[in-house]
A = this chain, B = another copy of it.
Amino acid sequence: MSDQRHDTRFDRFVDSYAERTKGMRVSAVRALFAVANRPEIVSLAGGMPNIKDLPLESIASSMGQMVAENGTQVMQYGSGQGELQLREQILDVMALEGIQAHPDDIVITAGSQQGLDLVTRIFCDPGDVILAESPSYVGALGTFLSYQAEVVHVAGDDDGLDPEALRETSRRLKAEGKRIKFLYTIPNYSNPSGVTQPLERRRQVLEVCEAEQILLVEDNPYGLLSLDADPVPAMRSLDQNVIYLGSFSKTFAPGFRVGWVLAPHAVREKLVLAQESATLCPPVFSQFAVSNYLSNHDWKHQITVFKDMYRERRDAMLEELAEHMPDGATWTKPAGGFFVWVTLPEGIDSQAMLPRGVDARVAFVPGAAFYADGGGARNVRLSYCFPTADRIRLGVQRFADVIRNELEVMSIFGVHVSPTHLRRAPGPGPNLS
Protein backbone atom coordinates (compact mmCIF):
# COMPACT_ATOMS: atom_id res chain seq x y z
CA MET A 1 0.00 0.00 0.00
CA SER A 2 2.81 2.39 0.84
CA ASP A 3 3.94 2.29 -2.78
CA GLN A 4 0.52 2.95 -4.21
CA ARG A 5 0.43 6.72 -3.70
CA HIS A 6 -2.55 8.28 -5.32
CA ASP A 7 -2.69 11.74 -6.67
CA THR A 8 -4.93 13.24 -4.04
CA ARG A 9 -5.70 16.25 -6.24
CA PHE A 10 -8.01 14.02 -8.21
CA ASP A 11 -11.19 13.78 -6.19
CA ARG A 12 -11.85 10.06 -6.00
CA PHE A 13 -14.57 10.79 -3.45
CA VAL A 14 -16.59 12.99 -5.77
CA ASP A 15 -19.60 10.67 -5.67
CA SER A 16 -19.43 10.21 -1.91
CA TYR A 17 -20.20 13.65 -0.58
CA ALA A 18 -23.39 14.37 1.26
CA GLU A 19 -26.16 16.26 -0.50
CA ARG A 20 -25.65 19.19 1.83
CA THR A 21 -22.20 19.92 0.38
CA LYS A 22 -23.96 21.24 -2.72
CA GLY A 23 -25.13 24.18 -0.60
CA MET A 24 -21.55 24.93 0.53
CA ARG A 25 -19.90 27.52 -1.66
CA VAL A 26 -16.86 29.69 -1.37
CA SER A 27 -18.30 32.98 -0.21
CA ALA A 28 -17.72 36.06 -2.31
CA VAL A 29 -16.44 37.66 0.86
CA ARG A 30 -13.63 35.12 1.33
CA ALA A 31 -12.42 35.43 -2.25
CA LEU A 32 -12.42 39.17 -1.77
CA PHE A 33 -10.32 39.16 1.38
CA ALA A 34 -7.27 37.90 -0.50
CA VAL A 35 -7.12 41.12 -2.53
CA ALA A 36 -8.58 43.41 0.10
CA ASN A 37 -5.60 42.79 2.38
CA ARG A 38 -3.13 44.36 -0.01
CA PRO A 39 -1.84 47.54 1.68
CA GLU A 40 -2.46 49.87 -1.26
CA ILE A 41 -6.14 48.97 -1.21
CA VAL A 42 -8.54 50.72 1.16
CA SER A 43 -10.79 47.91 2.30
CA LEU A 44 -14.34 48.91 3.10
CA ALA A 45 -15.15 45.22 2.75
CA GLY A 46 -14.25 43.42 5.97
CA GLY A 47 -16.22 43.15 9.19
CA MET A 48 -13.20 42.87 11.48
CA PRO A 49 -13.52 44.91 14.65
CA ASN A 50 -10.65 47.26 15.42
CA ILE A 51 -9.26 45.92 18.71
CA LYS A 52 -6.05 47.92 18.93
CA ASP A 53 -7.48 50.03 21.76
CA LEU A 54 -7.74 47.04 24.10
CA PRO A 55 -5.47 47.28 27.19
CA LEU A 56 -3.15 44.52 25.98
CA GLU A 57 -0.52 44.80 28.73
CA SER A 58 -3.11 44.54 31.41
CA ILE A 59 -4.96 41.66 29.69
CA ALA A 60 -1.63 39.85 29.29
CA SER A 61 -0.87 40.24 32.95
CA SER A 62 -4.21 39.01 34.30
CA MET A 63 -4.29 36.14 31.80
CA GLY A 64 -0.80 35.08 32.81
CA GLN A 65 -1.84 35.08 36.44
CA MET A 66 -4.91 33.00 35.58
CA VAL A 67 -2.78 30.36 33.85
CA ALA A 68 -0.18 30.22 36.59
CA GLU A 69 -2.74 29.92 39.39
CA ASN A 70 -5.51 28.01 37.73
CA GLY A 71 -3.99 26.40 34.65
CA THR A 72 -5.15 22.86 35.31
CA GLN A 73 -8.76 24.04 35.32
CA VAL A 74 -8.69 26.53 32.45
CA MET A 75 -6.80 24.13 30.17
CA GLN A 76 -8.94 21.07 31.00
CA TYR A 77 -12.13 19.78 29.36
CA GLY A 78 -15.23 21.65 30.45
CA SER A 79 -18.98 21.53 30.37
CA GLY A 80 -20.83 21.06 27.09
CA GLN A 81 -23.08 23.94 28.06
CA GLY A 82 -20.19 26.24 28.92
CA GLU A 83 -18.72 27.46 32.19
CA LEU A 84 -21.25 28.62 34.78
CA GLN A 85 -19.07 31.53 35.89
CA LEU A 86 -19.13 33.01 32.39
CA ARG A 87 -22.83 32.30 31.89
CA GLU A 88 -23.53 34.33 35.02
CA GLN A 89 -21.45 37.23 33.75
CA ILE A 90 -23.30 37.11 30.44
CA LEU A 91 -26.47 37.95 32.36
CA ASP A 92 -24.88 41.31 33.23
CA VAL A 93 -24.05 41.94 29.58
CA MET A 94 -27.56 41.12 28.40
CA ALA A 95 -29.11 43.21 31.16
CA LEU A 96 -27.78 46.28 29.35
CA GLU A 97 -30.37 45.57 26.66
CA GLY A 98 -33.20 44.77 29.03
CA ILE A 99 -32.89 40.98 29.07
CA GLN A 100 -33.65 39.02 32.20
CA ALA A 101 -32.69 35.36 32.11
CA HIS A 102 -31.34 32.41 34.06
CA PRO A 103 -27.77 31.17 33.50
CA ASP A 104 -29.12 27.67 32.97
CA ASP A 105 -30.81 28.83 29.77
CA ILE A 106 -27.52 29.97 28.19
CA VAL A 107 -25.33 27.76 26.00
CA ILE A 108 -21.84 29.01 25.18
CA THR A 109 -20.81 28.61 21.54
CA ALA A 110 -17.61 28.92 19.51
CA GLY A 111 -18.59 32.39 18.34
CA SER A 112 -22.19 33.24 17.57
CA GLN A 113 -21.63 31.69 14.14
CA GLN A 114 -21.68 28.33 15.94
CA GLY A 115 -24.87 29.46 17.64
CA LEU A 116 -26.39 29.85 14.19
CA ASP A 117 -25.08 26.44 13.21
CA LEU A 118 -26.49 24.68 16.27
CA VAL A 119 -29.88 26.40 16.09
CA THR A 120 -30.20 25.44 12.43
CA ARG A 121 -29.03 21.93 13.23
CA ILE A 122 -31.73 21.29 15.79
CA PHE A 123 -34.57 22.86 13.81
CA CYS A 124 -34.03 22.39 10.10
CA ASP A 125 -34.62 19.39 7.91
CA PRO A 126 -33.84 19.72 4.19
CA GLY A 127 -36.51 21.84 2.49
CA ASP A 128 -37.60 23.66 5.63
CA VAL A 129 -37.96 27.42 5.24
CA ILE A 130 -36.05 30.07 7.14
CA LEU A 131 -37.29 33.63 6.83
CA ALA A 132 -34.63 36.33 6.76
CA GLU A 133 -34.35 40.05 6.32
CA SER A 134 -33.77 41.47 2.89
CA PRO A 135 -30.72 41.70 2.83
CA SER A 136 -29.36 39.35 5.52
CA TYR A 137 -26.01 38.30 7.01
CA VAL A 138 -23.93 36.35 4.49
CA GLY A 139 -22.54 33.95 7.13
CA ALA A 140 -26.03 33.03 8.30
CA LEU A 141 -27.21 32.41 4.75
CA GLY A 142 -24.23 30.10 4.22
CA THR A 143 -25.10 28.11 7.32
CA PHE A 144 -28.80 27.87 6.43
CA LEU A 145 -27.98 26.64 2.93
CA SER A 146 -25.49 24.09 4.29
CA TYR A 147 -28.43 22.53 6.15
CA GLN A 148 -30.38 22.47 2.90
CA ALA A 149 -32.91 24.96 4.22
CA GLU A 150 -34.71 27.28 1.84
CA VAL A 151 -34.16 30.94 2.67
CA VAL A 152 -37.04 33.29 1.90
CA HIS A 153 -36.34 37.00 2.26
CA VAL A 154 -38.95 39.27 3.83
CA ALA A 155 -39.18 42.84 2.57
CA GLY A 156 -38.28 45.69 4.87
CA ASP A 157 -37.85 49.43 5.01
CA ASP A 158 -35.74 51.95 6.93
CA ASP A 159 -37.19 50.54 10.15
CA GLY A 160 -36.22 46.97 9.34
CA LEU A 161 -38.58 44.06 8.74
CA ASP A 162 -42.02 44.98 7.41
CA PRO A 163 -44.57 43.22 9.68
CA GLU A 164 -47.22 43.07 6.95
CA ALA A 165 -44.77 41.59 4.46
CA LEU A 166 -43.85 39.06 7.15
CA ARG A 167 -47.49 38.09 7.63
CA GLU A 168 -48.14 37.80 3.91
CA THR A 169 -44.98 35.80 3.29
CA SER A 170 -45.87 33.42 6.12
CA ARG A 171 -49.40 32.88 4.83
CA ARG A 172 -48.26 32.39 1.27
CA LEU A 173 -45.62 29.83 2.26
CA LYS A 174 -48.03 27.94 4.48
CA ALA A 175 -50.55 27.88 1.66
CA GLU A 176 -47.84 26.31 -0.47
CA GLY A 177 -47.40 23.62 2.19
CA LYS A 178 -43.99 24.81 3.31
CA ARG A 179 -42.71 24.44 6.86
CA ILE A 180 -41.35 27.71 8.27
CA LYS A 181 -38.86 26.93 11.02
CA PHE A 182 -37.90 30.40 12.16
CA LEU A 183 -37.44 34.05 11.32
CA TYR A 184 -33.82 35.16 11.49
CA THR A 185 -33.30 38.85 12.23
CA ILE A 186 -30.56 41.27 13.29
CA PRO A 187 -32.69 44.03 14.80
CA ASN A 188 -29.76 46.28 15.79
CA TYR A 189 -27.53 47.92 13.15
CA SER A 190 -28.06 44.99 10.86
CA ASN A 191 -25.30 43.34 8.91
CA PRO A 192 -25.29 44.37 6.07
CA SER A 193 -27.95 47.09 6.03
CA GLY A 194 -27.05 49.10 9.14
CA VAL A 195 -30.79 49.43 9.80
CA THR A 196 -32.32 49.27 13.31
CA GLN A 197 -35.83 48.22 14.21
CA PRO A 198 -37.45 50.78 16.58
CA LEU A 199 -39.24 49.45 19.64
CA GLU A 200 -42.71 49.72 18.14
CA ARG A 201 -41.61 47.80 15.06
CA ARG A 202 -40.16 45.06 17.28
CA ARG A 203 -43.51 44.67 19.00
CA GLN A 204 -45.29 44.46 15.66
CA VAL A 205 -42.90 41.82 14.34
CA LEU A 206 -43.29 39.79 17.52
CA GLU A 207 -47.06 40.02 17.25
CA VAL A 208 -46.99 38.62 13.75
CA CYS A 209 -44.63 35.85 14.90
CA GLU A 210 -47.01 35.00 17.73
CA ALA A 211 -50.04 35.01 15.45
CA GLU A 212 -48.30 32.96 12.77
CA GLN A 213 -46.53 30.72 15.31
CA ILE A 214 -43.10 31.56 13.97
CA LEU A 215 -40.08 31.15 16.19
CA LEU A 216 -37.91 34.26 16.20
CA VAL A 217 -34.10 34.05 16.23
CA GLU A 218 -32.54 37.38 17.24
CA ASP A 219 -28.88 37.82 16.32
CA ASN A 220 -27.36 40.72 18.21
CA PRO A 221 -23.60 41.06 17.75
CA TYR A 222 -23.64 44.85 17.46
CA GLY A 223 -26.33 45.81 19.97
CA LEU A 224 -24.00 47.45 22.49
CA LEU A 225 -22.25 49.49 19.80
CA SER A 226 -24.95 52.14 19.69
CA LEU A 227 -23.39 55.35 18.42
CA ASP A 228 -26.19 57.92 18.83
CA ALA A 229 -28.57 56.88 21.58
CA ASP A 230 -29.18 54.15 24.14
CA PRO A 231 -29.81 50.68 22.69
CA VAL A 232 -33.41 49.74 21.94
CA PRO A 233 -34.55 46.86 24.22
CA ALA A 234 -33.71 43.49 22.74
CA MET A 235 -36.56 41.48 21.22
CA ARG A 236 -35.79 38.76 23.77
CA SER A 237 -36.59 41.30 26.50
CA LEU A 238 -40.11 41.52 25.05
CA ASP A 239 -40.73 37.80 24.58
CA GLN A 240 -39.11 34.91 26.40
CA ASN A 241 -39.66 32.55 23.50
CA VAL A 242 -37.18 34.42 21.34
CA ILE A 243 -33.91 32.58 20.74
CA TYR A 244 -31.17 35.13 21.28
CA LEU A 245 -27.61 34.98 19.91
CA GLY A 246 -24.92 37.04 21.59
CA SER A 247 -21.21 37.52 20.98
CA PHE A 248 -18.07 38.93 22.56
CA SER A 249 -16.48 39.41 19.15
CA LYS A 250 -17.37 43.08 18.83
CA THR A 251 -17.43 44.19 22.47
CA PHE A 252 -14.18 42.44 23.42
CA ALA A 253 -12.33 40.39 20.77
CA PRO A 254 -13.31 37.85 18.11
CA GLY A 255 -10.25 35.58 18.37
CA PHE A 256 -11.53 33.81 21.47
CA ARG A 257 -14.55 32.59 19.50
CA VAL A 258 -16.96 33.02 22.39
CA GLY A 259 -20.62 33.65 21.75
CA TRP A 260 -23.77 32.35 23.33
CA VAL A 261 -27.36 31.31 22.73
CA LEU A 262 -30.11 32.16 25.19
CA ALA A 263 -33.05 29.88 24.51
CA PRO A 264 -36.25 28.57 26.06
CA HIS A 265 -35.44 25.67 28.36
CA ALA A 266 -36.48 22.80 26.10
CA VAL A 267 -34.58 24.27 23.16
CA ARG A 268 -31.53 24.86 25.35
CA GLU A 269 -31.44 21.15 26.25
CA LYS A 270 -31.27 20.19 22.60
CA LEU A 271 -28.62 22.83 21.93
CA VAL A 272 -26.37 21.32 24.61
CA LEU A 273 -26.72 17.88 23.05
CA ALA A 274 -25.88 19.37 19.66
CA GLN A 275 -22.88 21.19 21.17
CA GLU A 276 -21.55 17.99 22.76
CA SER A 277 -21.86 16.23 19.45
CA ALA A 278 -20.17 19.11 17.61
CA THR A 279 -17.20 19.87 19.91
CA LEU A 280 -17.70 18.04 23.27
CA CYS A 281 -17.45 21.48 24.87
CA PRO A 282 -16.99 25.05 23.62
CA PRO A 283 -13.43 26.44 23.92
CA VAL A 284 -12.70 26.25 27.65
CA PHE A 285 -9.59 28.40 27.82
CA SER A 286 -11.34 31.08 25.78
CA GLN A 287 -14.28 31.08 28.15
CA PHE A 288 -12.06 31.58 31.17
CA ALA A 289 -10.08 34.25 29.30
CA VAL A 290 -13.28 36.19 28.54
CA SER A 291 -14.52 35.69 32.08
CA ASN A 292 -11.20 36.92 33.44
CA TYR A 293 -11.42 40.00 31.22
CA LEU A 294 -14.93 40.78 32.43
CA SER A 295 -13.84 40.37 36.06
CA ASN A 296 -10.60 42.30 35.96
CA HIS A 297 -11.18 45.08 33.48
CA ASP A 298 -13.68 47.88 33.11
CA TRP A 299 -15.39 46.28 30.12
CA LYS A 300 -18.23 48.81 30.09
CA HIS A 301 -15.76 51.65 29.78
CA GLN A 302 -13.94 49.75 27.03
CA ILE A 303 -17.20 49.63 25.08
CA THR A 304 -17.48 53.41 25.29
CA VAL A 305 -13.89 53.64 23.99
CA PHE A 306 -14.87 51.41 21.07
CA LYS A 307 -18.01 53.46 20.45
CA ASP A 308 -16.11 56.75 20.33
CA MET A 309 -13.70 55.23 17.82
CA TYR A 310 -16.44 53.74 15.63
CA ARG A 311 -18.53 56.93 15.82
CA GLU A 312 -15.68 58.97 14.36
CA ARG A 313 -15.32 56.46 11.54
CA ARG A 314 -19.03 56.25 10.83
CA ASP A 315 -19.25 60.03 10.72
CA ALA A 316 -16.29 60.19 8.34
CA MET A 317 -17.95 57.71 6.02
CA LEU A 318 -21.34 59.41 6.05
CA GLU A 319 -19.82 62.85 5.53
CA GLU A 320 -17.75 61.65 2.62
CA LEU A 321 -20.68 59.81 1.04
CA ALA A 322 -22.81 62.96 1.28
CA GLU A 323 -20.09 64.99 -0.35
CA HIS A 324 -18.99 62.66 -3.14
CA MET A 325 -21.71 60.23 -4.15
CA PRO A 326 -23.31 60.91 -7.51
CA ASP A 327 -27.02 61.50 -7.96
CA GLY A 328 -29.13 58.39 -7.99
CA ALA A 329 -27.21 56.65 -5.21
CA THR A 330 -28.76 56.28 -1.75
CA TRP A 331 -27.44 54.81 1.48
CA THR A 332 -28.49 54.01 5.01
CA LYS A 333 -27.45 56.11 8.04
CA PRO A 334 -26.59 53.55 10.72
CA ALA A 335 -27.11 54.49 14.37
CA GLY A 336 -24.55 51.88 15.42
CA GLY A 337 -22.63 48.82 14.34
CA PHE A 338 -20.23 48.61 11.42
CA PHE A 339 -22.07 48.93 8.10
CA VAL A 340 -23.60 51.27 5.54
CA TRP A 341 -25.76 49.79 2.77
CA VAL A 342 -25.53 51.60 -0.53
CA THR A 343 -28.01 51.43 -3.39
CA LEU A 344 -26.23 52.35 -6.62
CA PRO A 345 -27.75 54.41 -9.41
CA GLU A 346 -30.06 52.49 -11.71
CA GLY A 347 -28.18 50.32 -14.19
CA ILE A 348 -24.98 49.65 -12.23
CA ASP A 349 -24.23 46.07 -11.23
CA SER A 350 -22.10 46.00 -8.08
CA GLN A 351 -20.59 42.58 -8.74
CA ALA A 352 -19.48 43.65 -12.21
CA MET A 353 -18.12 46.88 -10.76
CA LEU A 354 -15.95 45.15 -8.14
CA PRO A 355 -12.87 44.51 -10.34
CA ARG A 356 -12.88 48.17 -11.33
CA GLY A 357 -13.09 49.07 -7.65
CA VAL A 358 -10.05 46.94 -6.88
CA ASP A 359 -8.29 48.59 -9.81
CA ALA A 360 -9.05 51.93 -8.21
CA ARG A 361 -7.69 50.56 -4.90
CA VAL A 362 -10.94 50.33 -2.97
CA ALA A 363 -12.66 47.10 -1.88
CA PHE A 364 -16.31 46.61 -0.94
CA VAL A 365 -18.76 43.71 -0.76
CA PRO A 366 -21.27 43.46 -3.61
CA GLY A 367 -24.84 43.20 -2.35
CA ALA A 368 -25.55 39.83 -3.97
CA ALA A 369 -23.66 38.10 -1.13
CA PHE A 370 -26.47 39.05 1.24
CA TYR A 371 -29.28 37.48 -0.72
CA ALA A 372 -30.12 33.82 -1.22
CA ASP A 373 -32.38 34.61 -4.16
CA GLY A 374 -30.20 36.58 -6.59
CA GLY A 375 -31.12 39.97 -5.19
CA GLY A 376 -28.75 42.80 -4.27
CA ALA A 377 -27.29 43.48 -7.71
CA ARG A 378 -27.55 47.24 -7.22
CA ASN A 379 -26.24 47.18 -3.67
CA VAL A 380 -22.93 47.42 -1.87
CA ARG A 381 -22.00 46.92 1.76
CA LEU A 382 -19.43 49.41 3.03
CA SER A 383 -17.86 48.91 6.44
CA TYR A 384 -16.26 51.58 8.57
CA CYS A 385 -15.03 49.35 11.40
CA PHE A 386 -11.42 48.63 10.54
CA PRO A 387 -9.72 51.44 8.55
CA THR A 388 -8.94 54.78 10.16
CA ALA A 389 -11.17 57.79 9.44
CA ASP A 390 -8.61 59.19 6.98
CA ARG A 391 -8.44 55.93 5.08
CA ILE A 392 -12.22 55.72 5.08
CA ARG A 393 -12.44 59.18 3.51
CA LEU A 394 -9.94 58.18 0.86
CA GLY A 395 -11.79 54.91 0.24
CA VAL A 396 -15.17 56.57 -0.14
CA GLN A 397 -13.72 59.10 -2.57
CA ARG A 398 -12.30 56.28 -4.67
CA PHE A 399 -15.58 54.41 -4.42
CA ALA A 400 -17.52 57.45 -5.62
CA ASP A 401 -15.08 57.87 -8.49
CA VAL A 402 -15.59 54.26 -9.54
CA ILE A 403 -19.35 54.78 -9.62
CA ARG A 404 -18.97 57.98 -11.57
CA ASN A 405 -16.83 56.13 -14.11
CA GLU A 406 -19.46 53.43 -14.42
CA LEU A 407 -22.10 56.09 -15.06
CA GLU A 408 -19.89 57.74 -17.65
CA VAL A 409 -19.26 54.46 -19.46
CA MET A 410 -22.99 53.78 -19.37
CA SER A 411 -23.83 57.19 -20.82
CA ILE A 412 -21.34 56.68 -23.64
CA PHE A 413 -21.88 53.04 -24.50
CA GLY A 414 -25.33 52.44 -23.11
CA VAL A 415 -26.30 50.76 -19.87
CA HIS A 416 -24.22 47.79 -18.77
CA VAL A 417 -26.87 45.17 -18.09
CA SER A 418 -25.84 42.08 -16.20
CA PRO A 419 -28.11 39.02 -16.06
CA THR A 420 -28.94 39.72 -12.40
CA HIS A 421 -29.75 43.31 -13.17
CA LEU A 422 -32.01 42.27 -16.02
CA ARG A 423 -33.91 39.94 -13.73
CA ARG A 424 -34.28 42.47 -10.95
CA ALA A 425 -35.13 45.58 -12.88
CA PRO A 426 -36.91 44.60 -16.04
CA GLY A 427 -38.53 48.04 -16.45
CA PRO A 428 -38.33 50.29 -19.54
CA GLY A 429 -35.59 48.72 -21.63
CA PRO A 430 -32.17 50.35 -21.61
CA ASN A 431 -30.30 50.51 -24.87
CA LEU A 432 -28.27 47.31 -25.00
CA SER A 433 -24.83 47.88 -26.47
Contacts and interface: CB of A to CB of B under 8 A. Distances in A.
A74 interface: yes
A26 B81 CA distance: 13
Interface stretch (A224-232, A282-290, A311-319): A282-290
A211 B415 CA distance: 59
Interface in A247-280: 249, 253-257, 264-267, 270, 273-274, 276-280
Interface residues of A, number: 99
Contacts of A206: 1
B67 A25 contact: no
A61 interface: yes
Given A1-B203, A8-B264, A25 B273 contact: yes
A21 interface: yes
A411 interface: no
A210 B207 CA distance: 59
Interface string A207-227: 100100001000000000000
A98 B123 CA distance: 43
A121 B18 contact: yes
A305 interface: no
A383 to B, nearest CB: 13
Given A1-B207, A274-B24, A266 B9 contact: yes
Interface stretch (A139-147, A322-330, A340-348, A392-400): A139-147
B265 A9 contact: yes
Contacts of A48: 76-77
Nearest to A147: B18
Interface string A1-23: 11011101111111011111100
Most chain B CB atoms below 10 A, which of A19, A57, A266: A266
Nearest 3 CB-CB pairs, A to B? Answer: A64-B64, A11-B266, A8-B264
16 contacts: A1-B206, A9-B266, A11-B267, A12-B264, A18-B122, A20-B125, A24-B273, A51-B75, A61-B64, A63-B63, A75-B254, A110-B278, A110-B282, A139-B280, A255-B285, A257-B285
